[in-house]
Structure 1
Amino acid sequence: MQKSEWRADPLTWGTGAKIFEVFLEPTCPYSVRAFRKLDELLAVSGEDNISIKIRLQSQPWHMFSGVIVRCILAASTLEAGKEAAKAVLSAVGDHREEFEFTSHCGGPNLDATPNDIIKRIENYSGLALADAFAIPDLDREIKWHSRYARQNGIHVSPTFMIDGIVQADMSSGDDVSAWRERLLPR
């Protein structure tokens, strides 16, 4: 069996010793809210003080979650790597209603196919994803994210971890300043 040559760029920003891991489901409104705060958190904390790691938490009640997670990880294999993945996360977050079912079970997306979803993401992100989406063993990266979440007892999104410890009392509704204080107390 021939192995394909590809590499998924880790979804990590910053180089600091303090590790902030965020488990996100791309169409969850609370995950989108948390995702939109990460750049500001990195800016106010300093790239040399913290490392932010996005972990993808596919959830079956978000019906296209698996397809979208695969698109994000496929984007991370492109030349722009993690920035391409971030562009896909932004595109989905900015248009999340177009990737979600009404009440998680109905609406116009009942007629959408996975190819329709890929094309929508390509249109919104400006990235060509179909070839990367079709990488036969891309599922090893998807499985890694799933396994890592399970090993850490993560079941919902968003969930936050600081230095490997789940922070059950952190929320996407918290101000960035509160996150920063948790990460880098004065």
Structure 2
Amino acid sequence: MALPPKFAGHRLTFDTLSPSGASAKPLHTLEIFLDYTCPFSANLITRALRTEIFRTLTSVVIPHIRATPSLSSSLQLIFRHQIQPWHPTSTLAHEAALAVLRLTDGDPDKFWAFSAALFDAQKTLFDEAVVDETRNQTYRRLAKLAAETVGVNEEQVYKLLEIKKGEGEPRNVGNGVTVDVKFVVKMARLVSVHVSPTVLFDGVVQGDISSSWTGEQWKEWLEKNIV
């Protein structure tokens, strides 16, 4: 599935030596659909499932791809937003990530770093953690997190997220990234992705990939499928 230019920061490519343009080698595409606020289970001993797969990807899999020429020259990885409405703050967290993406001109390093920060702060966005907050108060915390972790301007992030009160009859006015949220949700629906995490390889759902996979399992799968 295509990636619009304004969402370019969702993509990681790894080979800086290969030529670009029409003569460049076609790349395999690995798409990871993730929800920043979706927990693994109610068991407090277990870490969040989405955090687990994201940490494995960023700490083991991506460094392995970068260090392996046969993989780095043949693969691109794309983060896809999978907003799950049964986790109400999922939308807010993904809005914050999209705001950071916009304010950093699509910088993948900033986007992926802020994604890591959101996963690390996941429990602060669970239902019981936000039950006494207004929506704008949660936005304010997310804007502060963005400023502290990736150096964007807190007020600029909040300005994109804030819901402002109007006069007269209430309306669904949205915020500065509502259009982007609608777009990424439509993209997920187009390929019938329902839950997080879901992994697509060259456009096909990979049902064998598990959230609990170790780095070694990922390496074995990559070596088998990247040809």
Q: Does 1:181 align with 2:220?
A: yes
Displacement of 1:15 in angstroms is: 4.6
Matched, 1:23 2:33: yes
| Residues 1:49 and 1:177: Cα distance change in structure 2 (over 3 Å) | farther
Kindly name which structure, 1 or 2, has the bigger radius of gyration based on alpha carbons.
2
SS at match of 2:217: helix
CA distance in 2: counterparts of 1:100 and 1:91, whole angstroms: 15
The answer to whether the Cα contact below 8 Å between 2:30 and 2:75 also exists between their aligned partners in 1 is yes
Which of the numbers 88, 91, 95 marks the counterpart of 1:63?
88
Q: How big is the shift at 1:108?
A: 4.2
Conserved in 2, the CA contact under 8 Å of 1:18 and 1:50? yes
2:54 aligned with 1:35, yes or no?
Answer: yes
Aligned pair in 2 of structure 1 residues 70, 108: CA closer, same or farther (>3 Å)? closer
Q: Does structure 2 retain, via aligned residues, the 8 Å contact 1:19–1:53?
A: yes
Moved more, 129-138 or 79-88: 129-138
What's the TM-score, normalizing by structure 1?
0.83
Query: In structure 1, how many angstroms separate the alpha carbons of the residues matched to 2:202 and 2:210?
Result: 17
Which of 137, 149, 174 is the equivalent residue of 2:188? 149
Cα pair distance change 1:19/1:180, threshold 3 Å: farther
Distance in 2, Cα, partners of 1:184 & 1:64: 37
Match of 1:73? 98
Counterparts of 2:129 and 2:175, CA distance in 1: 29
What is the CA-CA distance between 1:91 and the residue it aligns to?
Answer: 1.9
Q: CA deviation at 1:141?
A: 2.2
Moved more, 159-168 or 27-36: 27-36
CA distance in 1, matches of 2:96, 2:119: 13
From 148, 161, 168, the equivalent of 1:133 is: 161
Cα separation, 2, equivalents of 1:87 and 1:10:
11
After superposition, what is the alpha-carbon deviation per residue over 1:21-57, rounded to whole angstroms, capped at 9, x for unaligned?
A: 0000001221221111222212212343321100010
Matched residues in 2 for 1:98 and 1:49: separation?
38
State the one-letter code of the partner of 2:94. Answer: V
**Within 2, Cα distance between the matches of 1:185 and 1:8?**
29
SS in 1 for 2:76: strand
Alpha-carbon offset, residue 185 of structure 1: 1.5
Between Structure 1 and Structure 2, how many residues are aligned?
176
Distance in 1, matches of 2:129 and 2:63, equals 39
Question: Shift in Å at residue 14 of structure 1?
Answer: 1.4
Q: What fraction of aligned residue pairs are identical, expressed as a percent?
A: 25
Cα RMSD (Å) of the superposition? 2.4
Q: Secondary structure at the match of 1:54?
A: strand
Q: Distance in 2 between matches of 1:52 and 1:169?
A: 18
1:53 aligns with 2:78: yes
TM-score w.r.t. structure 2 length? 0.69
Question: Which of 105, 113, 127 pairs up with 1:87?
Answer: 113
**Alpha-carbon distance, 1:86 to partner:** 2.1
Task: Report if the CA contact (8 A) 2:37-2:126 is conserved.
Answer: yes
